[in-house]
Amino acid sequence: MSANHAVSPLAPKTTPTLPRIAGVKLGVARSGVRYKDRDDVLLAVVPAGATIAGVLTKSKTCSAPVDWCRKNLARGKVRAIVVNAGNANAFTGKVGDKAVEETTRSIAQALGCPRNEVFMASTGVIGQPLDWEKIAAVVPALIKSGKEDAWPAAAAAIMTTDTFPKLATRQAKIGERTVTVNGFLKGSGMIAPDMATMLGFCFTDAKIPGPVLQKLLSDAADKSLNCVTVDGDTSTSDTLLMVATGAARHAPIEEADDPVLVDFKRALDEVLIELAQLLARDGEGATKFVTINVTGASSNGAARKIGLAVANSPLVKTAIAGEDANWGRIVMAVGKSGERADRDKLRISIGGVRITDQGQVVPNYDEAPVAQHIKGSDVVIDIDLGIGRGRATVWTCDLTHGYIDINGSYRS
């Protein structure tokens, strides 16, 4: 749990128990890179022959670990992933590259594997050199502590301003074989992913070649982690990595559109959507979880862009925080999105209550049920553009004074 903040009121009541995935060992340790008296480094060790895929931030000021992952993902091979919290190792120049080089070298030597099969992700403060020697010092402890059931500890070790660990699991059939998809991530602020999420990690025992896994992950991230926003700010460190160990004995898979993968795609989608929603539920200072359903847009991409324009509007988010049914702000946000919209076809509903039609408020509109809905912790906004078949769902949270409190003192 985060040191400074009470658990989000939107946190789920229970944390799922993730099953073991044979050969995936998770170890955590206290390096003291920034935090004291808590685990702040994670090492996931996976069996030789495992494949990896990833989606990374499109930020032009990305971190050194993102550069390292991008360089090595194309090979599709992995033996370990190391993650540290408290320092993003972003905007740290050559010193940042050296920190990645030395950290991955210390792990590769300990495991006896090539350095380019050790992936790295970092989260925390931007612009401060990462003391890699502190991480290298705990590598033996990380390896020794590795367990197949340490999912909760792994999810907790990578948190920064998060107030609860975020985990999800599903099972799927590939042919006659049952496979597992486990995932966990961290993120609470600086969330407007431009590919994936803050830091997210998925593991499966399915046997899927690297290029196929890449296509599956990119498609799944597009409808989950690319549809969530807390504050409209895209991180320098966004990294989503997925490992397939290949332990499950199902028929070989060669193409992403192989019909045998239909159930697996469902499971992966569900894991990433659940994790994306947990990001919004742990938005910094959040008191309300907001779902925005957009239909009738000119394309799915347009629908998502309109949904994000509404979700990122400080005026919409503060109205929801103040429990003010100010639907005019939604009209504003749709209009500024840059996507096709027809004022006279736009229909807006909140909590299932229709508010607008034919370019104006509906006759005899009663605000009372809408105001009541906004007082709850789960708010649903439906927007129908009425011009096409494009649709998307976007998740966000309200914008409260708590967000300012957390980010006004983040470095201190």
Q: Report the C-alpha gap between 216 and 262 in whole angstroms.
A: 11
What pLDDT score was predicted for residue 197? 65
Q: Cα dist. 350→1, 106, 283, 353, 376 in Å? A: 33, 54, 21, 5, 12
Confidence band, pLDDT 50/70/90 cuts, at residue 1: very low
162 is a domain residue: yes
User: What is the pTM (predicted TM-score) of this model?
Assistant: 0.95
Residue 412: pLDDT over 70: no
Query: What is the average per-residue pLDDT within 178-192?
Result: 94
Q: Which of 57, 104, 163, 197 is catalytic?
A: 197
Structural domain boundaries, residue 362: 289-408
pLDDT in tens, 51-95: 999 999 999 999 999 999 999 999 999 999 999 999 999 999 999
Confidence band, pLDDT 50/70/90 cuts, at residue 385: very high
Establish whether 148 is an annotated binding residue. Answer: no
Q: Is 85 found in the same domain as 29?
A: yes
Establish whether 239 is an annotated binding residue. Answer: no
Catalytic status, residue 197: yes
Query: What is the average per-residue pLDDT within 353-372?
Result: 97
Confidence band, pLDDT 50/70/90 cuts, at residue 5: low
Confidence band, pLDDT 50/70/90 cuts, at residue 3: very low
36 is a domain residue: yes
11 is a domain residue: no
- CA-nearest of 378, 411, 311 to 12 is 378
pLDDT above 90 covers a percentage of the chain that reads: 95
Q: Which residues pair with 184 in a beta bridge?
A: 167, 201
Q: How many independent structural domains does the chain possess? A: 2
Confidence band, pLDDT 50/70/90 cuts, at residue 2: very low
Q: Give DSSP secondary structure letters for 241-295.
A: EEEE---S-------TT-GGGHHHHHHHHHHHHHHHHHHHHT-TT---EEEEEEE
pLDDT in tens, 120-162: 999 999 999 999 999 999 999 999 999 999 999 999 999 999 9
What pLDDT score was predicted for residue 194? 83
Q: Is 244 found in the same domain as 193?
A: yes
What pLDDT score was predicted for residue 195? 76
Q: Report the C-alpha gap between 30 and 226 in whole angstroms.
A: 32
Backbone angles phi, psi at 180, to 5 degrees: -115, 145
Q: Is 297 found in the same domain as 236?
A: no
pLDDT above 70 covers a percentage of the chain that reads: 98
7 is a domain residue: no
Q: Is 152 found in the same domain as 117?
A: yes
- Average predicted confidence (pLDDT) for the chain: 96
330 is a domain residue: yes
What pLDDT score was predicted for residue 198? 80
- CA-nearest of 213, 194, 177 to 76 is 213
Q: What CATH number does residue 304 fall under? A: 3.10.20.340
Q: Is 330 found in the same domain as 191?
A: no
Establish whether 57 is an annotated binding residue. Answer: no
Establish whether 274 is an annotated binding residue. Answer: no
Establish whether 176 is an annotated binding residue. Answer: no
238 is a domain residue: yes
12 is a domain residue: no
Query: What is the average per-residue pLDDT within 19-39?
Result: 96
Q: Is 93 found in the same domain as 171?
A: yes
Q: Is 338 found in the same domain as 398?
A: yes
pLDDT in tens, 299-358: 999 999 999 999 999 999 999 999 999 999 999 999 999 999 999 999 999 999 999 999
pLDDT in tens, 252-287: 999 999 999 999 999 999 999 999 999 999 999 999
Confidence band, pLDDT 50/70/90 cuts, at residue 4: low
Establish whether 160 is an annotated binding residue. Answer: yes
Interhelix angle 93-111/64-73, rounded to 10 degrees, is: 50
Cβ neighbour number for residue 363 with a 10 Å cutoff: 6
User: Could you give the maximum distance between any two Cα atoms of the chain, in Å?
Assistant: 73
Residue 242: pLDDT over 80: yes
6 is a domain residue: no
